[in-house]
Amino acid sequence: MSGLSLGACDGRDFCRSSIRDSTIGINFDALGEVEHYEHVSGDLFDLLKSGEHTDVTFVVGGVRFPVHRVILASRCTFFSVLLFGDMREAQPGNNEITLQDATPESFRALLEYIYSGKVCLGDLPEQVILDLLGLSNKYDFSHLQSSILAYLKATLSVHNACIIYNVANFYQLSDLCLACASYIDINAQAVMRSEAFLSISHQSLVELVSRTSFYCPELEVYFGIRRWLDNNEVSKDEEKNILKIVRLELIPMSSLLGEVRESSLFEANDILDAIAMINKKNMIELNQRGLLLPEENVATVQHDATVSDNQTILLSGDTESYTGDHGYAIHTITRNGPSKGIIVGLNQPYIINCIKMLLWDRDNRSYSYYIEISLDGSQWLTIIDRRDHLCRSWQELFFEDKVVKYIRIIGTFNSMNRSFHLVSFSCLHTSRRFSLSKDGLIIPDENVASISTSATVLEGVSRSRNALLNGNTRDYDWDSGYTCHQLGSGYIIIQLAQPYVISTMRLLLWDCDDRSYSYYIEVSTDQKSWTKVIDRSQESCRSWQHIQFDPLPVTFVKIVGTHNTANEVFHCVHFECPAAPLSSSPNNHFN
C-alpha cells in the first residue's frame, strides 16, 4: 500500500521533514501543518447566505436576518450573554430579537465579519462604516474596531474629517480624535469652507477651533464660525461660548472695524480691547495660531527653510564632516551694538518648544549666545539667554510652546576668537516632558555629565580623556579607568555642555584597596565665580559618594582632593549629575 509513511520518527522529526503523499499528490510544507481556515470561513459565510439551520432571527430596521445562535455567541461576549444567558431573549420560544441601535446595512456587514472574519470596508458607504464602528465598539469586536480605525485614519479628507471626529468623540476613541484633529489642523481653512463643517457638534467645534494648532487666518475663523452659527440652533450662552474661540486680536484692524463690528456678534468693548492689544503688544506675544508637526524638525531644506547669507549648510544635518574651514554657519561677534546673528527662516509659522543645535567643538572652546524669535522678522522676542554662561558642543533647549517663523541666534562670546560658529540647527515640537527653572534652565532628571550629552573633562590626568564620564564603573584597576590629580597642586574640572539646575551628584572614588580620601566640590557657570557645594576635606571617604545640596545653576564642576591615606594622588573613577537613585549603585560603600 502506497501512501504516507512516518517510519520511526517522532512528531518533531515528522514536522521537520519534507514529505510527499504519493496517493493524493500533496506536498506538505516543512512544518507539516495543514491550514484550511479560509475554507472554514467560506463555508460558514455560505451557511449564513443559505439561511439553513438558523435558530434565531434578528430584526433590524424592518429587515429580518436569520442567524445561528452558537456562531454569534462564539464570536462575541455580548451575543453569548444575550442568546445563552439569563436575559429574556435567551428563553425558549424567543426566536425573534429586534435591535434598535443598528441599521440593516451595518448589521449585514457585521454578520459578514462574524461568519467569515472578513469585510471589505472599501465597498461600503462611509456612513455604513461609521455605523459599523459603533457596533464594533458596543459589541466589543476589538479587532474589527482597530481595523476600522486604521481605515478611517488612512482615508481622512476635508469632506469627512469633521464627521469622523464627531463619531470618535461620541465613542471616546482618543486615538481617532487625535488623528482627525491633526488632519483638521493642517487643513483648517479648507475644512471650515466645507459643507461637512456645518454638521460638526457644538462641543467638537469648540474643541477643534480653540486649539492653537488650528492653523487658519483668524478672519477665516471668524467667517467659519459665523457660517456655522447661521446653520445651527444654539442658545445665547452657547453662542457666547463659541464666539470666545475667535481671537479678535489676530484679525486685521480694517476687518475688525468693518465686517466684524458690523455683524454685531461682538460687543464694542471686545473689539476695542482687541485693538488695544494690537497696538501695545509685540506681534509674537499675541495668542497666535501656528502649524503643529509633532516630533518633526521643521528647519530643513525639505520644509523650504532658509538661512541668512545663504548659509544653508546649517540645515544639512551633517554633524560629522565639519572642520576648522568649512561645515558651519558663521557670524562676527561685535564688541559694540547688536549683531545681525544667524537667522533661520521657516516657510510658515510653526508651533515649537525645542531647539537643538551644535556649536563648533573640535577643541575645548566655549561660546555664549542668546536666541530670539519673530513672526515678521522685525519684532523679536528673546526665548533663550546664555550670555552669562559658557556653552559647548550640543545644545538641547526647551521652552514653552511658541508660534515662530524666524529664529535668530546671536553669539556674544567665543573663548578663542571673535567668531560664532554653528554647525547644525533644528527646531521642533516635542512631547518629551521637561522641567525648567524660573530662569529657563533645564532641571534634568537623568545624568548630563556624560559623553553622550557632550560633557567633557577639562582638567585632570587620565589614560583616556573622558574616562570619568564614560559610565564604566567596573573596568578599572591600578593603571587605568580613573582620572586623578596631584594633591595640593591640582584638581579635576568637568564642563557640562550647557547650564543645568543641579541639586545632586554622585562619584566613585578608586577603591581597589582599603584606602580612603578627603575632598571638596565647587560649581560655577563661568569658571570665575565658584560655589562650594560639599566639603569633605575633614572626613574619611571611600568608594561611592552621594552628594545633595540646594539647587544651583551648574556648568563647571571642580573636584579637589585633599587627602589620600595611601599616597599623594586623588583618584576618581566616575562622576555623574544629577545622581542616579541610591539603589542603582553597584555597591553600598557610601560615605
- Count of C-beta atoms within a 10 Å radius of residue 87: 12
Residue reference for cell 571611600: 542
CA atoms within 13 A on the CB side of 234: 21
| pLDDT at res. 95 | 82
Q: How far apart are CA 573 and CA 591, in angstroms?
A: 15
Cell matching residue 142: 476589538
Task: Give the residue carrying C-alpha cell 446595512.
Answer: 105
Cα-Cα-Cα-Cα torsion 192, 194, 199, 203, nearest 10 degrees, comes to -20
Residues of the chain short of pLDDT 70, as ranges, are: 1-31, 37, 43, 90, 93, 582-591
Question: Domains in the chain, ordered, with CATH?
Answer: 1-35 (no CATH), 40-136 (3.30.710.10), 301-428 (2.60.120.260), 456-584 (2.60.120.260)
Task: Compute how many other C-beta atoms are within 10 angstroms of the C-beta atom of residue 424.
Answer: 22
- The residue type at 492: I
Nearest-angstrom CA–CA distance, 560 and 577: 17
pLDDT tens for each residue of 447-487: 999 999 999 999 999 998 899 999 999 999 999 999 999 99
What is the reported pLDDT for 96? 87
Distances (CA, A) of 324 to 359, 360, 361, 419, 422: 12, 9, 10, 12, 12
Contacts of 264 (CB under 8 A, 6+ apart): none
Strand locations in 91-146, DSSP E?
96-99
For residue 275 the three cell numbers come to 485693538
Inter-residue contact 228 to 208 (CB < 8 Å)? no
Q: List phi, psi (to 5°) of 588.
A: -110, 25
Element (H, E) at 37: helix 37-50
Q: Give the closest residue to 389 by CA, choosing from 298, 498, 468.
A: 498
Q: What is the pLDDT of residue 443?
A: 97
What does pTM read for this prediction?
A: 0.85
The helix/strand count (H/E) of the chain reads as 16, 19
- What is the secondary structure of 71-84 as a DSSP string? HHHHH-HHHHHHHH
Amino acid of residue 151: Y
DSSP 248: G
Per DSSP, the residues of 383-446 read EEEEEEEEE-SEEEEEEEEEEEEEEEEEEEEESSSSEEEEEEEEEEB------B-TTS-B--SS
Three-state SS at 58: strand
Q: Helix axis angle, 236-243 relative to 218-231, nearest 10°?
A: 160
What single-letter DSSP state applies at residue 372? E
228-260 pLDDT per residue, tens: 999 999 999 999 999 999 999 999 999 999 999
Alpha-carbon distance 517 to 420, whole Å? 42
Residue 387 DSSP SS3: strand
User: What's phi and psi for 444, nearest 5 deg?
Assistant: -75, 150
Q: What CA–CA distance (Å, rounded) separates 553 from 562?
A: 25
Virtual torsion, Cα 495, 496, 497, 500, nearest 10 deg = -140
Q: Are 572 and 468 in contact (CB under 8 A)?
A: yes
Q: Give me the amino acid identity at 382.
A: T
Cis-peptide, bond into residue 66, ω within 30° of zero: no
d(CA 113, CA 127): 17
Q: Which amino acid is at 438?
A: K
169's CB contacts (< 8 A; 6+ apart) are: 177, 201, 203, 204, 207
Return the number of other C-beta atoms located less than 10 Å from residue 236's C-beta: 7
Cell digits of residue 147: 481595523
* DSSP assignment letter at 586: S
User: Under DSSP, is residue 348 helix (H, G, I), strand (E, B) or coil?
Assistant: strand
Pairing relationship of beta strands 381-391 and 367-374 according to DSSP bridges: antiparallel
